[in-house]
Amino acid sequence: MEKGADHVNPRQGGAMGLVSQPMNPESYTTMAQVRAGVDEIDRQIVALLADRFAHMRAAARIKPERAHVRDEERKALVIANARAEAEKLGAPGDAIAMLWDQLVEASIAYEMEEFDRLKG
């Protein structure tokens, strides 16, 4: 790692740490920049996942029966949509589909826990 470059932010930050300008990894010249960019993306992903799981809590509250939590048709559609969006953006569709399968399964498990907590 480059000496003294542990925490280089490759982008200008906006309000509350959110970045207003897109990153351009092609302009990076150091691994510190790459790592800072990845760390920023990870923070944003975690924030989005927290929002996604809040939606799972809402679903658990709204669904009338626990059997409605798992919906294989919806799962397949969500994964297909993620794959298509990834491919449209030039990202590896298979890798995104694999991640989304795990994300949806984790979401279902969380929603079931919340359903049981709220209605059990």
Binding-site members are 35, 52, 63, 111
Burial 48-81 (b: 16+ CB within 10 A, else e): eeeeeeeebbebbeebeeeeebeeeeebeebbee
- Residues in the annotated binding site for substrate: 35, 52, 63, 111
How many other CB atoms are there within 10 angstroms of residue 92's CB atom? 12
